[in-house]
Amino acid sequence: MWLFFSVVPLVPPLALSFSTYSKNIVVKNCLKIWTQLKRHFGFQGIPLLSPVHSNPLFTPSITDAAFSIWEINGIVSVKQLYIDGTFAYFDQLARKFNLPKSHFFRYLQVRDSIRNRFPSFPAIPPSTWVDTLLSINPNLKVSSSPLSYTLDKGCPILCEIGKNKHCIRGSDLKFTKMWLPFLEHVKSLQLEPVPIG
């Protein structure tokens, strides 16, 4: 399911068909909530932690199997295309990730796509709250949820969701009825927060 959250921020809201990703009702509802959060907080960009390989907004990464070599060699996210805060030259990436020289054209495709999506190009854009959420290791075995810690400490803006009555297309009362039992259960566990990063 974590894969869905790493790819969904990339898909424009109008093009999003939840059944494309899964027929599972839980996954569909998570995707709906994710889309509503993105819309509410005005997040239109793509996260730095979005994948380079199999990225729905970068068609060559889906149709050209060579991008799987990039992933195997360690270029998993857009963020890894930056070195010292600047978009890397092909030679830098080829040395660092052992890319064949024949992949230069693919580099130009990626570079053009990133240049058109990030106004700060070639400088690395600032991280967003979506990057913070995507940086959580879902397999981390700890006494408390890294996600709850991030939502509470790392992304304070998300804590305001309950105060905004139109965030989940309903009233405060509807929001409270739906989420209060869950929130009370989490608080009753009295788990210590785990720092992220």
As a three-state string, the secondary structure of the chain is CHHHHHHHHHCCHHHCCHHHHCCCHHHHHHHHHHHHHHHHCCCCCCCCCCECCCCCCCCHHHHCCHHHHHHHCCCCEHHHHEECCEECCHHHHHHHHCCCHHHHHHHHHHHHHHHHHCCCCCECCCCCHHHHHHCCCCCCCCCCCHHHHHHHHHCHHHHHHHHCCCCCCCCHHHHHHHHHHHHHHHHHCCCCCCCCC
117 and 145, same domain (yes or no):
no
Q: Which of 45, 40, 46 is nearest to 157 (CA)?
A: 40
User: What pLDDT is attached to residue 121?
Assistant: 92
Q: CA–CA separation, 1 vs 93, rounded Å? A: 30
Q: CA–CA separation, 51 vs 45, rounded Å? A: 14
Q: Please state, for a pLDDT cut of 70, what percent of the chain lies above it.
A: 61
Q: Please say if the pLDDT value at position 14 is more than 50.
A: no
Query: How many structural domains does the chain have?
Result: 3
User: What pLDDT is attached to residue 196?
Assistant: 57
The residue that leads in pLDDT, 148 or 80, is 80
The residue that leads in pLDDT, 53 or 191, is 53
User: What pLDDT is attached to residue 139?
Assistant: 66
64 and 35, same domain (yes or no):
no
63 and 49, same domain (yes or no):
yes
Q: Please state, for a pLDDT cut of 90, what percent of the chain lies above it.
A: 28
98 and 157, same domain (yes or no):
no
What is the overall mean pLDDT for the chain? 74
Q: Please say if the pLDDT value at position 13 is more than 50.
A: no
User: What pLDDT is attached to residue 17?
Assistant: 58
The residue that leads in pLDDT, 19 or 82, is 82
Q: Which of 22, 78, 16 is nearest to 50 (CA)?
A: 78
pLDDT tens digit string along 44-56? 677 888 889 888 7
75 and 36, same domain (yes or no):
no
Structural domain of 176: 138-197
115 and 183, same domain (yes or no):
no
Which conformational region is residue 113 in: left (phi greater than 0), alpha (psi within -120 to 50 degrees), or beta?
alpha
Q: Please say if the pLDDT value at position 94 is more than 90.
A: yes
105 and 176, same domain (yes or no):
no
Residue at which a domain ends, from 135, 156, 171: 135
Residue 70 · residue 60 · CB < 8 Å: no
Q: CA–CA separation, 11 vs 96, rounded Å? A: 29
The residue that leads in pLDDT, 162 or 182, is 182
The residue that leads in pLDDT, 95 or 126, is 95
Q: Which token pair is 54?
A: 């199999």
Note if the pTM is more than 0.85: no
pLDDT band per the 50, 70, 90 thresholds, residue 24: confident
162 and 192, same domain (yes or no):
yes
Residue at which a domain ends, from 85, 117, 135: 135
194 and 151, same domain (yes or no):
yes
Is it true that the peptide bond before 122 is cis, omega within 30 degrees of 0?
yes
49 and 39, same domain (yes or no):
no
79 and 54, same domain (yes or no):
yes
152 and 166, same domain (yes or no):
yes
